[in-house]
């Protein structure tokens, strides 16, 4: 039986076997938002890379942060995003010290720079997409 849900355009997903970022997306499938830290200097590394470097450790983020900047996308050529618009795309500065481009799930026009947000997940086959919501 074909349903609307079956034929609705799907959110584009990352390439899960990309060598550097694949481990990140597979961890997302377990609802873990991971980042790396250099043991010797404490420097935060994100996006992930250098997986054979013993000086880099992988940590789980607490998933809380602040909106650095955002835009409300109102027009997009891709079928999923055209149907999804308007939606808010933002850079979030995580309290753990890294910055991520993501979507903030909120009424368009209500998000503000400096707003506190927290991690949520949108589940997909083989991974989950990290999104953020206004902190409760």
Burial of 31 (0-12, 13-18, 19+ CB in 10 A): middle
Between 2 and 75, name the residue whose CB sits nearer to another protein: 75
Between 25 and 63, name the residue whose CB sits nearer to another protein: 25
Q: Minimal distance in Å, beta carbon 84 to another protein?
A: 7
Residues near another protein (CB under 8 A) are 11-15, 18-21, 24-25, 44, 46-47, 49, 68-78, 80-81, 84, 87, 89-91, 93, 97-103, 109, 113-114, 129
DSSP character at residue 132: E
Q: Minimal distance in Å, beta carbon 31 to another protein?
A: 15
Between 12 and 55, name the residue whose CB sits nearer to another protein: 12
Q: Minimal distance in Å, beta carbon 76 to another protein?
A: 5
Q: Minimal distance in Å, beta carbon 133 to another protein?
A: 15
Q: What is the 3-state secondary structure (H, E, C) of 29-97?
A: CCCCCEEEEECCCCCEECCCCCCCCCCEEEEECCCEEEEEEEEEECCCCCHHHHHHCCEEEEEEEECCC
Between 1 and 15, name the residue whose CB sits nearer to another protein: 15
> Cis omega before residue 86 (within 30°)?
yes
């Amino acid at each position: 039986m074909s349903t609307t849900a079956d034929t609705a355009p799907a959110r584009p997903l990352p390439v899960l076997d990309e060598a550097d970022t694949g481990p990140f997306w597979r961890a997302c499938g377990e609802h873990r938002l991971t980042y790396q830290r250099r043991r010797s200097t404490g420097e935060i590394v994100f996006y992930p890379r250098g997986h054979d470097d013993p000086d880099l450790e992988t940590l789980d983020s607490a998933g809380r942060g602040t909106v650095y900047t955002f835009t409300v996308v109102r027009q997009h050529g891709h079928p999923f995003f055209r149907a999804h618009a308007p939606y808010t795309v933002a850079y979030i500065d995580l309290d753990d010290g890294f910055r991520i481009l993501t979507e903030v799930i909120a009424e368009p026009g209500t998000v503000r720079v400096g707003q506190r947000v927290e991690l949520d997940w949108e589940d997909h086959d083989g991974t989950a997409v990290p999104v953020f919501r206004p902190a409760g």
